[in-house]
């Protein structure tokens, strides 16, 4: 007979569940550290297993520092299994590893995450096309990554619960979180200005600049204006989101008066931009400075070191899992939060080359 594969978290939960049903403990469960030592697993695995048992109604969490109360009398599920659809910004095979890890966390606590048939970019960030797909998808909740204002405005009118990561979400009544990039963008721009850069171009995704600029992008432009630089399409160019479109945009920028610094949105654009500069025979940072707006584990291998904006994805995962637990318990949660982000100086930034 086929035995379904169980994760280590599910195995730990099964072991504790059996001891609970056998009456090994009375009234309260031992603390997490005691269980960790007894079961010889790490504290994160124990914590995830206990959340599963809470979802099943076998345990009641009484708060930080207090032991969980055993509730064997009601073995029915206190929280329901949720079908959670992930509407990725790009196709799932291009999705960040931390999002995949977040899906595994959901599986570990008894939910059913899955990817929508198409991503936002595949649907052209078109709210009407997205609406058709959403309405034909059986899901109890949605995770939307980096949605445009139009897309998130549409989701806000729907009954299905939605959690948005990043994107243009300010003022929209949806739960969400993401790094607060305004402070690091200000610091990074000032760093470039201090080094004599005045020809700075920022290549970012369309939803961050149109139809309404994100707060972080506006902060970048405000810093340039404050330094006496008249901003325009050179500083925030429009471009078609494809490999060809990105290359064409760079060709246009370097045709007449080349930028002395590029700020590139997300690691994949940073790597593509670096590749373009190498092909053009330009040196970083001697000929041009580069900054990336996000962290990338691969940066640890780069020499010179990469100047970038750093933030902790674990804080995003934690907030999303808390939202899912609230939703499964019937609690309304539309709170929006920001996680800390900081500008990390690196060897890809140097003094502006006089031209």
Predicted local distance difference test score (pLDDT) of residue 185: 98
Predicted local distance difference test score (pLDDT) of residue 76: 43
Predicted local distance difference test score (pLDDT) of residue 77: 41
Q: How far apart are CA 164 and CA 120, in angstroms?
A: 13
SS (H, E, C) 16-60: HHHHHHCCCCCCECCCHHHHHHHHCCCHHHHHHHHHHHHHCCCEE
Predicted local distance difference test score (pLDDT) of residue 74: 46
Predicted local distance difference test score (pLDDT) of residue 73: 57
pLDDT along the chain (355 residues), means of 10: 64 84 76 85 89 85 86 55 90 72 84 89 91 90 91 93 87 92 97 97 91 91 97 95 94 93 95 96 96 94 96 90 90 91 97 80
Dihedral (Cα; 294, 100, 303, 285), 10-degree rounding: -30
Structural domains for the chain: 8-70 (1.10.10.10), 83-178+312-339 (3.40.50.2300), 182-311 (3.40.50.2300)
pTM: 0.74
CA angle 51, 145, 241 (to 5 degrees): 155
The order of strands in the sheet holding 200-203 is 200-203, 261-264, 289-292, 307-311, 341-344
């Amino acid at each position: 007979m086929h035995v379904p594969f169980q994760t280590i978290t599910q195995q730990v939960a099964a072991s504790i569940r059996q001891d609970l049903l056998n009456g090994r403990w009375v009234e309260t469960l031992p603390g997490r550290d005691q269980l960790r030592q007894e079961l010889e697993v790490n504290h994160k695995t124990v914590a995830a297993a206990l959340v599963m048992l809470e979802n099943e109604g076998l345990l009641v969490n009484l708060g930080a520092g207090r032991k969980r109360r055993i509730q064997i009398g009601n073995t029915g599920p206190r929280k329901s299994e949720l079908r959670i659809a992930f509407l990725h910004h790009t196709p799932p095979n291009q999705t960040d590893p931390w999002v995949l890890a977040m899906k595994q966390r959901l599986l570990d606590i008894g939910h059913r995450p899955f990817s929508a048939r198409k991503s936002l970019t595949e649907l052209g960030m078109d709210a009407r096309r997205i609406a058709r797909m959403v309405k034909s998808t059986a899901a109890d909740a949605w995770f939307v990554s980096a949605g445009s204002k139009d897309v998130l405005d549409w989701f806000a009118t729907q009954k299905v619960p939605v959690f948005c990561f990043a994107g243009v979400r300010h003022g929209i009544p949806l739960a969400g979180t993401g790094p607060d990039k305004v402070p690091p963008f200000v610091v990074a721009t000032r760093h470039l200005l201090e080094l004599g850069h005045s020809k700075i171009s920022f290549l970012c995704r369309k939803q961050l600049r149109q139809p309404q600029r994100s707060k972080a992008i506006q902060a970048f432009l405000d810093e340039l204006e404050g330094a006496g630089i008249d901003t325009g399409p050179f500083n925030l160019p429009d471009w078609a989101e494809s490999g060809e479109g990105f290359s064409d945009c760079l060709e246009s920028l370097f045709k007449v008066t080349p930028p002395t610094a590029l700020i590139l949105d997300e690691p994949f654009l940073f790597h593509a931009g670096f590749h373009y500069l190498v092909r053009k025979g330009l040196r970083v940072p001697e000929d041009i400075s580069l900054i990336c707006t996000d962290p990338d584990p691969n940066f640890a291998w780069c020499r010179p070191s990469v100047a970038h904006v750093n933030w902790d994805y674990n804080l995003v995962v934690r907030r999303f899992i808390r939202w899912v637990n609230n939703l499964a318990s019937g609690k309304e949660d539309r709170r929006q939060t920001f996680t800390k982000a900081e500008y990390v100086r690196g060897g890809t930034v140097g003094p502006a080359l006089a031209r």
